[in-house]
Structure 1
């Protein structure tokens, strides 16, 4: 138990709500501010990508005894289902038997997390806009408008958990020696929906992450408990195959009939959803430092927003909390050291998962439809099962372990170089499971 402090968290999203629970458990008074209404009172906006909870996220929940409650609203997915035009459905398993990622509706989880944080004693202030922070005194300045009268709300400490366009970070950016960058993809996304069958069952395999890879664009679908799937269409904003080009009902229906023919019967509200739901952008944001003295700290997307193609935005944010909590246990009331060690530990790993997420767009949209890629995965899986101490595939190292993201990036690059040589072996499609290929991998690993 630490000396109790009065702590403000700006942002009532997933990371802010879970952080509130951890800080309450440590004995602090916690107030959570959000400019939006209480998410439990509104319909979710139709701009969501389902979450993919994996080991890092579950660890953060399990350590405060909440994992089992969240598993009740999650759907296990043990494989990718690859939908290519004119070819049979192909399944690509993620890891070993029993290793799953879990699909969770962002809205459902966020509502649950807010309620759990309230049950712990955290106090929420919705519809409250934070316009500025006086960092030296951990004082929030709130008000109806940016130019109007502000209220001063003094705290011992402030956490900015207010997302990629964080108001707390905006204040920190005005410091000397604060580094900041953001990069938008020219690819955006739009939410679509596959409803349940009349009997409540799923129209597609419910334990798969469904992907329709089409190189420059792709469609994904993740299962929900009610029998539906949340679909996300990723496309360039402009160009031949783009959101800009899909301007009317006829063009949209023709496009889906040509490139996603297997969805014709399962997305009955395609036209309505497409033109109703917003087209959203994707951004990678990096900054440093993440903290100011022992007064202010950024966490989650506020300091490391990433694109969603590895499914680790939430998992990385939850892992921030895990590491912060470990440091709180180690350093007690020395918050200056806690904050310094927290940012030094997390920054390289945040940068690594950002890079991995960016790269994974190509794997999902293009490589999963490629026979060489599928063989590469098969070889890696077989070798890993035989030599688990010598080879852990990159995806498993990121998703089914707690090893640092930075380590996964470095070792993944090393393994890719090895597999590039293996795939260049003459007759690899016929000889992929031969002793010669196995010996070559062992030899390359020793080098």
Structure 2
């Protein structure tokens, strides 16, 4: 057992997107930061294949990266997505713009490329030290000490304070809440996911529209495609774990081809390596979590998936994690020298909204699978966009508020519900006027 003094330094457990961004934000204020990541350095070993799920960078993430003075480096790595293309079972397509103009777009980015960029920047900062292959194995909350396993040995460190940014299955959270009056709820989706690749054409162009999110919605399955700068697309198939036409029943080449012939025939000629990729790539699971508290005294605090993992169907996982970093930094600025107050303020102002995001993300799963082709759903979307164009400051569609503003998630949902009541009231009023008019005409 060895000891390493980390006094007056911040320990961030987790070197993923939120951990590396927060390291840079804290280092910019003069804090010494040690980032401990259980996995090898992804810039050397390469990222784990088949499990990434490409990301859609939107306003909240852009704002956080702007605050960190990183946005000019990140944006060239993205592909703009101005809308989504819906692929019907008969092979026809329909384009749905994300907003009323080109300012309301998403940006497709490779999770691993972004993580490498953030780690490179963190490594170059004189206040940041990166420690890979360091697995957190214990926390002594009384002694304020962390214990890591590295290269077969145990290492104890005593940081000034600790940030848990180690994902949905956070060991930091488990250790922080051990023996405490804490709440924790975890829910798995009965569907899993598998990633495939739609390669570019021989001339390097994209086989399908590049600057769009592509969706193949089926009641029994769902494909989502994110574009990459080289003209390829990362395809993510969501499918039930069990039952007919599930991951459990799709085991060999014949099963795979039968599944695609039945549900996604237009994709078959575009995926010459379908069977090979299917067999090589793992099936991932999707989890949503809620927990409280997010901190302990002035010593430990959680960010990102460690305190609120969500399903990926609203495209807000990374964006909300980055927004956590901004919210934590703002709380620390509001309470200088009083970290316990800052941590409590951060949780109090943030947790109700991330709970709302969890519900929105579950609901959007149903929307993507079942509603995006409904005439009523499309008419309602068009009405929202029309009202937004007519009243740009007073009428905002829910998706616009979530993806293209930094309005707190709960406030956005409350506003959307008020707008819905106005529409319902206006519709009822119009029906009443029509009924009175008809009655008067009959009376005449």
TM-score, length-scaled by structure 1:
0.91
Post-superposition shift, 1:282? 0.5
- Assess if the C-alpha contact under 8 Å between 1:376 and 1:423 holds in 2: no
1:198–1:149 Cα change, 3 Å:
closer
Residue 307 (1) aligns with residue 311 (2): yes
Does the C-alpha gap of structure 1 residues 330 and 426 become closer, same or farther in structure 2, counting only changes over 3 Å? Answer: closer
Which residue, out of 63, 66, 69, partners 2:70? Answer: 66
Partner of 2:36: 33
Residue 425 and residue 212 in structure 1: after superposition, are their counterparts in 2 closer, same or farther (change >3 A)? farther
1:262 match: secondary structure: coil
Give the SS at the match of 1:186: strand
Q: Which residue of 2 aligns with 1:175?
A: 179
Please name the residue that 1:359 is paired with: 363
Give the match for residue 377 of structure 2.
373
How far apart, CA to CA, are the structure 1 residues paired with 2:197 and 2:427? Answer: 38
Corresponding residue number in structure 2 for 1:292: 296
Q: Partners in 2 of 1:263 and 1:150 — Cα distance? A: 50
Matching residue of 2:16: 13
Tell whether the 8 Å contact from 2:136 to 2:171 is kept in structure 1 after alignment.
yes
1:247 deviation in Å? 1.8
Q: 1:206 to 1:178 in 2, by over 3 A?
A: same
Contact in 1 for aligned 2:84/2:213 (Cα 8 Å):
yes
CA RMSD of aligned residues (A): 2.1
1:322 to 326, 342, 357: 326
Question: Residues of 1 paired with 2:69 and 2:155: CA distance?
Answer: 37
Tell me, in whole angstroms, the C-alpha distance in 2 between the residues paired with 1:424 and 1:267: 50
Alignment counterpart, residue 238 of structure 1, candidates 225, 239, 242: 242
- Any gaps of 5 or more consecutive residues in structure 2? 1-6, 435-444
Q: 1:394 aligns with which of 391, 398, 408?
A: 398
Partner of 1:109: 114
Change (3 A) 1:10 1:214: same
Given candidates 128, 133, 142, the residue that maps to 1:127 is 133
Is the 1:103–1:223 Cα contact (8 Å) retained in structure 2?
A: yes
1:276–1:419 distance in 2 versus 1, CA, 3 Å: farther
Question: Corresponding residue for 1:92?
Answer: 96
Matched residue count? 424
CA contact (8 A) 1:135 1:296 kept: no
> How far apart, in 2, do the equivalents of 1:201 and 1:418 lie?
46
Secondary structure, in 3 states, of the residue corresponding to 2:100? Answer: coil
Q: Is the 8 A contact 1:173 1:180 kept in 2?
A: no
1:372–1:161 CA distance, 2 compared to 1 (3 A): same
Output the CA distance in 1 between the equivalents of 2:30 and 2:307. 25
CA contact (8 A) 2:396 2:416 kept: no
**CA pair 69-419 structure 1, distance change in 2 beyond 3 A:** same
1:240-283 deviations in whole A, cap 9, x for unaligned? 23111212211211221221122122222111111111101100
Report the counterpart of residue 4 of structure 2 in structure 1: none
Q: Tell me if structure 2 keeps the 8 A contact 1:21–1:117.
A: yes
Deviation string 1:93-135 (CA, Å, 9 cap, x unpaired) is 1112121111001111111111111122311110111111223
SS of residue matched to 2:271: coil
Q: TM-score, normalised by structure 2?
A: 0.91
Look up the SS of the partner of 1:183 in the other structure: strand
Task: Please give the alpha-carbon distance, in whole angstroms, between the structure 1 residues aligned to 2:372 and 2:255.
Answer: 27
1:198 is the counterpart of 2:202:
yes
The range that moved more, 182-191 or 238-247, is: 238-247
Q: Deviations over 1:56-110 (max 9, x none)?
A: 0011111121101000101110101000022531011111212111100111111
Residues 203-254 of structure 1: CA deviation (Å, up to 9, x unaligned): 1111110000002320010000111100000011011231112122112112
1:23 correspondence with 2:23: no
- Which of 365, 383, 387 is equivalent to 1:383? 387
**Matched residue of 1:27: which SS?**
coil
**1-side partners of 2:427 and 2:280: how far apart?**
45
Unpaired segments of 5 or more residues in structure 1?
428-435, 438-447
Deviations 1:339-375 (A, max 9, x none): 1101111110110111111100011111112121111
Alpha-carbon displacement from aligned partner over 1:122-158 (angstroms, at most 9, x marks no partner):
111101111112234431101259xx86321111001
